[in-house]
Structure formats: C-alpha cells, structure tokens
C-alpha cells in the first residue's frame, strides 16, 4: 500500500514538473513560431537562442508588484486564478501516457490513474474552470473584467455541450469511458479519426472555444475589454491565469490524441514500450502547433457570430455525428 502511494506521488510530481516546463516553453515556442511567420527574430537575447526567456519572464512576474483594486472582493480575487489553474493540471491524471512498463521488477503504469469513468471525470473537472473565470470577472470590481467573465462563462457553457457530444462517438466505438480502454480499442482496429472525422473536427473547434483561444478569444478581446476577466490582475496571479491557459492547451491536445489518434500507439510499441511516450509527445506537439497556427492565421469572430456558430452549426453537427455513429454500430456492427 505504501509502495503504491509513493509511486503515485512520484508520478504526480513528475507530471506536474513536465506540465510546468511545457507551459514555460510553449509560450517561448508560440513567440518563436509567430516571429517566423511574421518574418521577425523573436526572443533571442536571454541565453543561447533565447532559450532562457521563459525563466526571465517567470522571475520578472514573481517580483512584480501585485495590485488589488480598492473595491475588489479580496478572498474571491485571490481564489479565482487558483480555481482556473488547478483543474488544468488534475485533468491530466487520467490520461495514459504510454503502455505499462517493467521497472525495478515492478509493472509501472505510465499515467497516474486509469479510472473506468475517465472521460466523465475530465468533463466534470473541466467545468470547474468556468467558476474561476466568472469569479475573476466579478471580484475585480471592474466593468471590463465583469463583461469578460460573462462572455467566457456563456462561451464555455455553450461549447461544452458540443465538446461532450463529440466524445460520445469514441465511447460508443470502444464501449468504455476509460481512456486506457479507448486506446486499446484503437490498437485492435484503427485510429478513431478515420471512423470519426466529424467528431474529431468538432472536438478541436469546441476545444479551442473552451480554451478561449483565437479565433474564439472574445472574453479577452483587447480592442473592446482591455484584457477581459484578468484586466486587474498582475504579478503571480496574472501568471496563474496564463499558466492555466497553456496547461489546458496541453491537456486538450493530449485528450484529442488519446481519443482520435491512438494515444501512445505506434510502430514497435509492443516491443519497446518506452517509445509510447515519444509517440504521444509527437502527436500532442502536432496539436499544439496547430492551435498556435490557427491563432496566428484566423481573425477573431464577433461575439454574436461565435454564439450562433456554437448553437446553430456545431451543436446540430455534433448531434448528427452521434446519431450516424449509433446507426452504423447497430446496423453494420
């Protein structure tokens, strides 16, 4: 029992370290890719090729003065960034990062836990992040922040429905809510993106909207709302919002990889299980690059267009995908 607890603690610490490192260098990668696409140099002053820029940014934010508005609700103002970041980290607990491996005579699962209701856990935890954003907007005593919080909550709740419906296809095909089970089901057939191209597309679009990433970044539209729900935040509290957004990007990319692209599956994984982590990282990295590319390419939608697209286009398509999948499973098998 103690050995299991120690193993879980070590895996949790390692995954937390990887996520925080990924956050730091994802911001660096985004700035470098943006510079490349815009024919600029990008960050190149701190360390070789600018590789220490994330560390410099982190140190700067730690020593920044934290200002709290006079009319702010102090407790909620403090809790909001924590409620936004924590769900982003704990979602990763049920994602299988690779097959089981033998280490020091023990069989080690490359993931913290394999819940038989893993996808239900992900949807439940993801919905908690909405509270952090709403509380950030309300507790700041700022009209811009409040409007940003209201926009974010309406947007996230609207697109959550399509997101939830998009994962029903893989659940029906695999016959399980366990992410490990879904990966193993793809091993015996083929990647579910071939069976569920519409579901994968809906998941990606709804995922971008859940992340408040361009072209769905209306809650923090600079031209209208200054910085949206975190207008009044500075220092480490601001960086926690930033951290939450980028870690959620990693989590959404990892979930998409698991559900539609075979997770850690790839050539020779059965003989060399550690290769699974490499395949998983490459697939997740490809999704992250796609998100950055979309942000740098597409203009922001108007708020009415964003809501209309979610309810009038994405939701009917998601329902259609569920019905077609069910019909095919029943009549074709």
> For the segment 172-210, what is each residue's pLDDT rounded down to a tens digit?
999 999 999 999 999 888 899 999 999 999 999 999 988
Q: Are 247 and 237 in contact (CB under 8 A)?
A: no
Q: H/E/C letters for each residue in 227-290?
A: CHHHCCCCHHHHHHHHHHHHHHHHHHHHHHHHHHCCCCCCCCCCCCCCHHHHHHHHHHHHHHHH
pLDDT digits (tens, 9 = 90+) for 282-291: 999 999 999 9
pLDDT digits (tens, 9 = 90+) for 116-164: 888 999 999 988 888 888 888 888 878 888 887 788 888 888 889 999 9
pLDDT digits (tens, 9 = 90+) for 215-239: 887 666 665 666 677 778 878 888 8
d(CA 58, CA 236): 9
d(CA 227, CA 158): 22
Identify which of 188, 194, 186, 182 has the alpha carbon closest to the alpha carbon of residue 119.
182
- CA distance readout (Å), 130 to 136, 140, 248: 10, 16, 13
Q: Hey, which of 23-27, 99-103, 104-108, 133-137 has the most confident mean pLDDT?
A: 23-27
- Of the chain, the percentage scoring pLDDT greater than 70 comes to 96
Is it the case that residue 8 has pLDDT exceeding 80?
no
At 137, list the tokens.
């907007």
Q: Which residues, listed in sequence order, are joined to residue 106 by a DSSP beta bridge? A: 103
d(CA 289, CA 291): 5
Identify which of 260, 266, 251 has the alpha carbon closest to the alpha carbon of residue 18.
251
Q: What is the pTM of this model?
A: 0.92
Q: What is the pLDDT of residue 268?
A: 87
At residue 275, φ and ψ (nearest 5 deg) are -60, -25
At residue 299, φ and ψ (nearest 5 deg) are -75, 160
Q: What is the pLDDT of residue 283?
A: 96
Is it the case that residue 79 has pLDDT exceeding 80?
yes
Average pLDDT, the chain: 87
Residues 6+ apart with CB under 8 A from 45: 53
d(CA 264, CA 121): 20
d(CA 160, CA 125): 12
> C-alpha dihedral over 235, 291, 286, 312, to 10 degrees?
140
Q: What is the pLDDT of residue 215?
A: 84
Domain boundaries, the chain: 69-331
d(CA 310, CA 317): 10
Higher-pLDDT residue of 328 and 127 is: 328
Q: What is the pLDDT of residue 219?
A: 63
Q: What is the pLDDT of residue 309?
A: 92
Return the number of other C-beta atoms located less than 10 Å from residue 95's C-beta: 27
Question: Given the structure tokens 């309810």, which residue do they identify?
Answer: 311
Is it the case that residue 65 has pLDDT exceeding 90?
no
Higher-pLDDT residue of 214 and 268 is: 268
d(CA 274, CA 9): 20
Q: How confident is the model at residue 13 (pLDDT cuts 50, 70, 90)?
A: confident
d(CA 60, CA 22): 19
Q: How confident is the model at residue 32 (pLDDT cuts 50, 70, 90)?
A: very high
């Amino acid at each position: 029992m103690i050995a299991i607890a120690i193993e879980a603690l070590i895996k949790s610490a390692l995954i937390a370290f990887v996520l925080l490192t990924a956050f730091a260098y994802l911001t660096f990668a985004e700035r470098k890719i943006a510079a490349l696409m815009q024919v600029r140099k990008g960050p190149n002053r701190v360390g070789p090729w600018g590789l220490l820029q994330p560390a410099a940014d982190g140190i700067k934010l730690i020593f920044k003065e934290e200002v709290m508005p006079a009319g702010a609700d102090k407790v909620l103002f403090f809790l909001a960034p924590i409620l936004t970041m924590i769900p982003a980290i704990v979602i990763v607990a049920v994602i299988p990062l690779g097959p089981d491996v033998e280490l020091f005579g023990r069989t080690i699962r490359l993931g913290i836990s394999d819940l038989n209701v893993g996808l239900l856990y992900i949807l439940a935890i993801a919905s908690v992040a909405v509270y952090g954003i709403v509380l950030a907007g309300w507790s700041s005593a700022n009209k811009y922040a409040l409007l940003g919080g209201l926009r974010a909550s309406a947007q996230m709740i609207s697109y959550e429905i399509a997101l939830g419906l998009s994962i029903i296809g893989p659940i029906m095909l695999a016959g399980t809510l366990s992410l490990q089970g879904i990966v193993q089901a793809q091993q015996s057939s083929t990647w579910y993106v071939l069976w569920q191209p519409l579901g994968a597309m809906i998941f990606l679009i709804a995922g971008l909207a859940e992340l408040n990433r361009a072209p769905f970044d209306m809650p923090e539209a600079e031209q209208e709302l200054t910085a949206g729900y975190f207008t009044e935040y500075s220092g480490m509290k601001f960086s926690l919002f930033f951290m939450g957004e980028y870690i959620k990007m990693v989590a959404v990319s990892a979930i998409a990889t698991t559900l539609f692209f075979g997770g850690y599956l790839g050539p020779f994984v059965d003989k060399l299980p550690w290769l699974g982590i490499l395949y998983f990282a490459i697939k997740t990295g490809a999704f992250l690059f796609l998100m950055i590319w979309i942000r740098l390419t597409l203009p922001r939608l108007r708020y009415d267009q964003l809501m209309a697209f979610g309810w009038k286009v994405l939701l009917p398509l998601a329902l259609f995908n569920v019905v077609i999948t069910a019909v095919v499973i029943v009549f074709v098998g």
